[in-house]
Structures are given as C-alpha cells and as structure tokens.
Amino acid sequence: MRRTSNFRQSVPAANERFLFNRRTILKRGLAASVAASFTGQLGPSSADAAPPIKPLGVKRNLPAGVTLLHPRHRVPLSFIIDDSTCLVNMGHFCMPQFASAWPQREIYRQPWQKWPREIPDSFVAAFAQWCGEHGVKGKYSIVPFPACVGWLDRELPGWSRTDLQNSLRLVRTDLLSNWDIHPEMITHTRVIDLKTGRPLDNPGSATMENSYPQTDISVDHLASYLAYALRILRNCDLPCEGITTPGGFGNRVKHKLPVAVAQSVSDVYSVSLSHYFKYVIGDDQSTLPRLEWAGDLANAPAEISTENLDLSQLTVNVPAGTGDWFGSWEGINVPRPDLYCNQDASAGRMVDLILRNEPAVMLCHWPGMYCNGSLVGFKAFQRVVESLHSRFSASTIWMKPSEMARYYATRELVTMECLPEGTVQIDSPMECAEFTFSLPAEFVRGKPQREGAFRGDVRKVGQCASLQAETFTVQDGRAFFCLNLQVGRNRLRLR
C-alpha cells in the first residue's frame, strides 16, 4: 500500500495513538509543527501533556454473519476548517499576540502588518457556493471573540454593526446546510477571565488559550469556559453540536475534556450527543470517530453496556487524518496539494485512507484558503476535491463531523438480533440516517420489508454504489442494506 511518506516517521511514545495535537499549541506555527511531528520531534508542549484517553469499549449483541459498514457502504470524507470567524483575518490579528507571549520564537517574527485584516464575506460566499456545488461538507469554526478584536454577539470594532450582522447572516444562510459550526474557544489567543470578561494579564503559556491550562483544573471550570464560548454563538443564532480546541488547549486535562464538552454542549444547546475535534491521526492508525466516556470520571468504565444507556455520558472524538498542506494558519505557505491527493488520485494521504476504508478527514486553516487575497490555497483545495471525485465519487460520501459522530456512535451502540421467523431486529439509541450493514445473502428469502415507522418495501438496486436509504443489493454472496433507523426498535422482515 502506497503511503504519504510524511506519516511514516516515528513519534514519541506519549503520542503513539494521536500523532500530534494541532500546531503543538502553535508555539512553532502549524507548518513547522507538522514537519516536526512527522519526524518525531514534537514541540515542547507534547512531552508534559497528559496521555491520550483510550477508546471506550461497548458490550452488545450482534448476530454471527452481520457486518456493520460505513454509511451507504462508502468511505466518509470531511473537511475541517480551523481559525475561521466572521470578517477577522486570524493570521493578521493572532500573530502579534503570539509574538508577545513567545517573543523568542522566530515563527512569530513575521510581517503581519502587511497582511489584510479582513477575509471578506465575498470569499466566504464563493467558497460556500463552490463547496455546495461539489457536495463538500465539514466543520467551520466561528471564534466568538476573535483575537480579542470584538464580540460577535455585540460589536466588532473596525466593522460596522451592519457588516457584522450581514456576515453572521451569510454563515446562517450559506454554510449551515453543509457545515457544522464550532467555537474554537473564546479568543483563540488570550485566556478570558470568566468573571470579568477581560483577557488575563501577562501574556505567556499560562494565559494563552493555545496552551491552556498549564495546571490541572476542574471539569466544572473547563466546562464553564467552553460554555462561555458556546453562549456567544447561541446569541448569534448559530446552532452547535461540538467544540474545536485551539492548538494545544486541554493537553494537560485530556481525560476531562470529553466530560466538559458533553456538559457544556448539552447545557447550552440541549444536544443529546456532542462531539469534538482536537486530534490528528497519522500512519496506519484508524481514523474512525471514537466514543469516549463523558460521565463521572471517578467511576469511568473501560466498557459500557447498551442496556440502560445514557447518551449524556458519552461524547465522540472526531479526528482528522491529514496535516494542513494548504496555506497554513498564517496564509503564507506555498500549498502542497499532492500531499492530500495528486492530480490523478493515485497517491496522497486522502487516497491512502480511502483505499484503507478509513474515514478521510482533511484539515486546513481558513487564512490558508484565502492566502492574503491570492486564493492559492482555495485553488489547491479545489484541485484536490476534483481529483478525489474523478476516482472515488462512487465510493465516498461527504459528511459533517456531527453526522459522522452520530453514525459511528450508532454503529458502536446498536444491537441486532436475527429472529427465527426471518426478521432482523435492530435496537438503536438514536435516530441514524442511511445505516448500512451486510449479512449472508441466504438470509433473504423474500422481498425485504420494513415494519413500524418505516413500514414498506425495501427497494432492490443493482450495485453497492447505488445504495441509499431504504434500499438493498446483493453482491458476492452478501446482502447489503441501507436503512434509516428510528430511536428504539426497528424491524426488517426478510421472508
């Protein structure tokens, strides 16, 4: 199997499962940290970071011969966009604040004054339109108090109130259908005092979100910090089911982060299943979303049972599978699109993941799409998408992280039983679209029919590539079913 060579380097033992925390707290900038990570030389934040938490085991019943598959039997694709917000070019405004916190680092001695302060809404609209036309889905951060410039639910100094409201309206009208909205904490730069709403004094590792906290903090405090960011987005009429951590935020409290995510998202948005993005997976490790415990840490189990399941005690860790090889967080790097996917889609990290039947989640930073007005990052991204579609359009499916979280949580938690009368009984803890599984073709002895809420025939299609909700096909001695699941009991009669 051909691999993107950068992902084959050894990494420190503390980071064996999660190759690196994005930007290793931005202390060396993304491009430098990606290169360092893939050569086994992570930034100084990694050595003292808490070890990654282990995936949660699930005790449940599955009949012999049944295989649970990706949705529509296609490999999920997604596009994670960090450092985005309304109007503010985070590269321009973050750089001097990082330089103040870490003046000894060469990466922050860049001519940020020459970079535009704004990423215009005209570019957001063009990006959203192109992605919509090509079916691209993913996550788009909205930093609520971007680099301390202004509060998105109040005022944004340097722009009129009309400018701000129009920008928020554009997000709601053009992005929400295909993009999850996440806060990337409150400022992405300075830590905010939750009592006063002011940035903490004395810039440094202890007062920058990218390296916060430097000491252990309680789950309650961590959840309160996340909820502060979420409430601003709620005030902006933006829905949210998850969190993105800025840089190395939470590195020292990784085991507490899933709990804080679940508590804050549930409290602010009443979401039953939350998710978060923090990690990038490299080498041959699985990029599947991971169920994590979000209940009482003192009684955290290694394995849960599907009986009496409480979804509020779970969250989903949705990782990316690539570095950022577009314009990076500053928007000045020369894009290297072939590292994702070359022109004919014969090589690249995304290609590797698809061929391994692993979710292929691409990472970038919003300034690296705009690239200070040159748009070279966006053009490189367009070429990557077109190349992927030229080879894999019939075997992949674009999904938002929230959709991936729900699907793979369902796949982990669903129970199934083949009843003697020829019925497959599926018990699901949540609604799930296009749930896909296969079983031996000899199980199907009549025209498959749904019972209950989805009562009716399941339509036969000619091949797996044609699977969609409420269809099935038979191929190589297996019957493949794609069904919409309701909460609770679902029944499929096979004879």
What residue numbers bound the domain in which 466 lies? Answer: 414-493
Give the pLDDT confidence score for residue 52 in this predicted structure. Answer: 57
The answer to whether residue 435 sits within a structural domain is: yes
Looking at the structure, tell me whether residues 169 and 239 fall in a common domain.
yes
Length of the chain: 495
Looking at the structure, tell me whether residues 327 and 189 fall in a common domain.
yes
Residue 52 contacts residue 328 (beta carbons within 8 Å): no
Bigger pLDDT: 25 vs 405: 405
Give the pLDDT confidence score for residue 432 in this predicted structure. Answer: 98
Tell me the β-bridge partners of 417: 425
Looking at the structure, tell me whether residues 343 and 430 fall in a common domain.
no
The answer to whether residue 70 sits within a structural domain is: no
Residue 227 contacts residue 264 (beta carbons within 8 Å): yes
Looking at the structure, tell me whether residues 389 and 450 fall in a common domain.
no
Looking at the structure, tell me whether residues 361 and 460 fall in a common domain.
no
Q: In this structure, is the dihedral angle defined by the CA atoms of residues 109, 115, 121 and 123, taken in order, positive or negative?
A: negative
Q: What is the pLDDT of residues 415-469, one digit of tens each?
A: 999 998 899 999 999 999 999 999 999 999 999 999 988 899 999 999 999 999 9
Give the pLDDT confidence score for residue 53 in this predicted structure. Answer: 65
Q: For 17-26, 345-354, 441-450, which range has the lowest pLDDT when averaged over its residues? A: 17-26
Give the pLDDT confidence score for residue 32 in this predicted structure. Answer: 38
The answer for residues whose C-beta is within 8 angstroms of residue 481's C-beta and 6 or more apart is 436, 437, 438, 439, 448, 458, 471, 472, 492
Last residue of a domain, one of 335, 361, 394: 394
Q: What angle do CA 374, 378, 43 make, to 5 degrees?
A: 95
Bigger pLDDT: 338 vs 31: 338
The answer to whether residue 136 sits within a structural domain is: yes
Looking at the structure, tell me whether residues 272 and 350 fall in a common domain.
yes
Looking at the structure, tell me whether residues 159 and 48 fall in a common domain.
yes
d(CA 226, CA 228): 5
Looking at the structure, tell me whether residues 269 and 372 fall in a common domain.
yes
Q: What percent of the chain has pLDDT over 70?
A: 89
The answer to whether residue 470 sits within a structural domain is: yes
Looking at the structure, tell me whether residues 143 and 233 fall in a common domain.
yes
417-430 burial: b if 16+ Cβ within 10 Å, else e: ebeeeeebebbbbb
Structurally, how many domains does the chain consist of? 2
Q: What is the pLDDT of residues 285-315, one digit of tens each?
A: 999 999 999 999 998 888 888 887 899 999 9
Q: For 170-174, 289-293, 307-311, 405-409, which range has the lowest pLDDT when averaged over its residues? A: 307-311
Bigger pLDDT: 96 vs 59: 96
d(CA 317, CA 223): 16
Distances (CA, A) of 255 to 216, 249, 494: 11, 13, 44
d(CA 242, CA 14): 26
Q: What CATH number has the domain bearing residue 150? A: 3.20.20.370
Residue 141 contacts residue 244 (beta carbons within 8 Å): yes
Give the pLDDT confidence score for residue 187 in this predicted structure. Answer: 99
Looking at the structure, tell me whether residues 379 and 422 fall in a common domain.
no
Q: Above 90 in pLDDT, residue 61?
A: no
d(CA 460, CA 468): 10
Give the pLDDT confidence score for residue 250 in this predicted structure. Answer: 97
Q: What is the mean pLDDT of the chain?
A: 90
Last residue of a domain, one of 394, 426, 458: 394
Last residue of a domain, one of 366, 394, 422: 394
Looking at the structure, tell me whether residues 240 and 340 fall in a common domain.
yes
